[in-house]
Amino acid sequence: MLKFCASAGLAAMLLAGSVSSPAWAAGPGPGKADGTLRLDKAPTTLTQAYALEVVELPEMRMPNSPERTITLILTDRPLPGRVDDMSAMEQAYNGQLRGLVIEIDPAAKTVVSGRTLIPQDELPQYFSMSGDSSGVELTGFTDDKGIITGKIKTTAPMEVVNFDNKPGPKAYSFNVIFNAAVVPAPRLTATLEGDQAKASEQGQTLKRFLQAVADGNPDALKAIVIKDHPALTMLNPEGMGQLKEMIFAEGNNVDGIYALLTKVYVYGQTATVLLRHPDGWSSFPLALEDGKWKMGY
């Protein structure tokens, strides 16, 4: 069965501690895409293809989901600077590019999920696959010596979910051939657990971030996040209030959230901090910048 839902707000996705995969190293540059994304009948020609290996953390894996996937990013122009799906989503929300993100299970040669990369007012969509996945086809897929090729297409236009009945497209479809070099997932260099994780530079960075958000202190927040972090667009009183509401959505406080810190995975220049909740896990990404650990995304 093919399931659809409207995309959540970009800030919530980037800031609410839901990202589980660490950042990738610099890649070999874009591959080639040849095809079209259509919103109703309006076409966008897709020309660039990027591929990133994702090895999911054991704690963050959904039941029966693959450990290794490939994130395929298809765009209508080259991605400037940082290359990953979150950065592409941010640029698309701001009207700087259009395209698709497709999650592929290379072992099964199937599509796991995907989303459209379009401006926020055009109702970006997310879809996931389970059971009968006839709505999206992946054909001719190969994963050979770090190069992936194939064709991804919808078998029929997919309905745009519009919970708020806003103006926008009613359906979308795509049909794209791609060829791209896969950027390998970063290698794990250290695993910290328990009190060691809490006392680590990464754990203390998370605590300072939480305190800055709780205090509504824009200067402290600016000092603890990387230079291109989405939080830097929320340093006004309204934005800081929204950030606090997102981070402390369950009425918790700094010490309460920090107490959930259970493990830190370190990947050289990046890290992932894991929090254990009664009903599961959440994570926060970090990165080294100018020799200091800061909150990443």
Query: pLDDT by residue (tens digit) across 178-206?
Result: 999 999 999 999 999 999 999 999 999 99
CATH class belonging to 190-295? alpha beta
**Beta strands, E only, the chain:** 2-6, 31-39, 42-55, 68-75, 99-105, 110-117, 125-129, 136-144, 147-154, 158-159, 171-183, 190-193, 261-267, 270-277, 280-289, 292-295
- Which residues are CB-neighbours of 288 under 8 A, at least 6 positions away? 269, 270, 294
Per DSSP, 157 falls in state P
User: Where do you find CATH 3.10.450 in the chain?
Assistant: 190-295
What tens-digit pLDDT sequence spans the chain (297 residues)?
233 333 334 444 444 443 334 444 455 678 999 999 999 999 999 999 999 999 988 888 887 888 899 999 999 999 987 888 988 998 999 899 999 999 999 999 999 999 999 999 899 999 988 655 568 999 999 999 899 999 999 999 999 988 888 888 999 999 999 999 999 999 999 999 999 999 999 999 999 999 999 999 999 999 999 998 888 888 999 989 999 998 888 778 999 999 999 999 999 999 999 999 988 899 999 999 999 999 987
Per DSSP, 186 falls in state P
pTM: 0.81
pLDDT tens column, 41-100? 999 999 999 999 999 888 888 878 888 999 999 999 999 878 889 889 989 998 999 999
